[in-house]
Amino acid sequence: MTTDVTIRPMQAADTEAAERLYRLAFGTYFQLPEPIAFRGDAEMVGPRWRTYPDGGLVAERDGTMIGMSFAANWGSLGVLGPVAVHPDLWKHGIARLLLGATVEVFERWGSRIVGLFTFPQSAMHLRLYQSFGFWPRTLMPAMAKPVGEAQAVPGAAALSARADRAALVAACRALADSVYAGLDLSREIATVLDERLGEVVLLMEDGALAGFAVCHAGARSEGGSRSCGIKFALVRSGEAAPARFRNLVAACEEFARSRGIPQVVTGVTTGRQGAYRIMCDLGFRTLVAGVAMHRPYADAYDRPDIFALDDWR
């Protein structure tokens, strides 16, 4: 029964409990011997709530947290997840209550499209999301690569070291808008830099921005101390885009090396065929096979001519 379940906005005081619940739920799903150790010393809920304090929701029963969900606002694109329910209460309708309330958040924001990452082998997950208008489009593997030998990357720069940060953030926003109108990673960029959760790696050409990557790295970031997580990356389109893309990924790997982090982790959909093939060529291998689901069923920037990475987990 769900009539005694309350859905309310997440508050700052909820984030530690929500993090534990998230770890327990996903660690149990993946059958880890210690579920609470899922994702190591990475932190998912705190950084996301501080980035989007209007995007977190909590499910409670008798004052106890039993579920949580998150909405992220990338301008015209909304990203749903994670959604987690205490394992003792799976298949009790709680995720459905959370999803209904989370979809209302995206509608309030005016998101043109909402995307999510889920498990293609799970008929339960697919059926649940489809009931809210999300439809599977392409595979979205989470991929990883060990950091290799040092390499020089022409045009690579760190946004945190630039005096013209505001202008470069505006350039990142304009580049994102060029592939999907209204796409905006500004809040993700601000959180990473202001809280020192990683770096925004830039690729410059003739003094102009040719690409950027939002990277989480270090304990209590979304990457943790063992992974440099590329949450989003994009290069300028055109004939040189594949080479730019390779250089940007290499620059992210160099950043990981500078922090003593042994691997790079990210996501890419097979709908961006060129980007996916380059990632395979570079030595990235699938950690978890996922599927991207969109509401409504539209491609957004998930096209073969777009060289972008995004991790929606």
DSSP state of 197: S
Q: How far is residue 112 from each of residues 33, 73, 80, 102, 272, measured CA to CA in Å?
A: 40, 11, 13, 15, 20
- Sorted by where each begins, the domain ranges of the chain are 6-111, 143-289+304-310
What residues are paired with 135 via a beta bridge? 294
Bond from prior residue into 296 cis (ω within 30 degrees of 0)? yes
> Contact 250/151 with Cβ under 8 angstroms?
yes
Give the pLDDT confidence score for residue 2 in this predicted structure. 79
Give the pLDDT confidence score for residue 264 in this predicted structure. 98
Give the pLDDT confidence score for residue 191 in this predicted structure. 97
CA proximity to 85, closest of 140, 146, 18, 131: 18
Distance CA 309, CA 191 (A): 19
Q: Which ranges constitute the DSSP H helices of the chain?
A: 15-29, 45-51, 94-109, 123-130, 165-179, 186-194, 241-258, 273-281
Query: 6-111 adopts what CATH topology?
Result: Aminopeptidase (3.40.630)
φ/ψ bin of 137: left (φ > 0), alpha (ψ from -120 to 50), beta (otherwise): alpha
In b/e form, how buried is each residue of 235-258, taking b as 16+ CB within 10 angstroms? Answer: bbbeeebeebbbbbbbbbbbbbbe
Q: Do domains 6-111 and 143-289+304-310 have the same CATH topology?
A: yes
Radius of gyration of the chain from its Cα atoms, rounded to whole angstroms: 19
CA proximity to 117, closest of 219, 54, 44: 44
pTM of structure? 0.95
Query: Each residue's pLDDT tens digit in the chain (313 positions)?
Result: 678 999 999 999 999 999 999 999 999 999 999 999 999 999 999 999 999 999 999 999 999 999 999 999 999 999 999 999 999 999 999 999 999 999 999 999 999 999 999 999 999 999 999 999 999 999 999 999 999 998 899 999 999 999 999 999 999 999 999 999 999 999 999 999 999 999 999 999 999 999 999 999 999 999 999 999 999 999 999 999 999 999 999 999 999 999 999 999 999 999 999 999 999 999 999 999 999 999 999 999 999 999 999 999 9
Residue with tokens 């209904």: 100
Give the pLDDT confidence score for residue 1 in this predicted structure. 62
Q: How far is residue 116 from each of residues 100, 129, 244, measured CA to CA in Å?
A: 15, 9, 27
Q: Collect all residues with Cβ–Cβ distance below 8 Å to 254 and sequence separation of at least 6.
A: 150, 151, 153, 156
Residue with tokens 């339960």: 124
Distance CA 6, CA 20 (A): 19
Q: Collect all residues with Cβ–Cβ distance below 8 Å to 211 and sequence separation of at least 6.
A: 175, 202, 203, 233, 234, 235, 236, 244, 245, 247, 248
143-289+304-310 CATH pick, 3.40.630.30, 3.40.50.1220, 3.40.50.2020, 1.10.101.10: 3.40.630.30
In SS3 terms, 134-149 reads as: CEEEEECCEEEEECCC
Distance CA 305, CA 288 (A): 24
Token output for 303: 């096209």
Token output for 223: 């990457």
Give the pLDDT confidence score for residue 15 in this predicted structure. 97
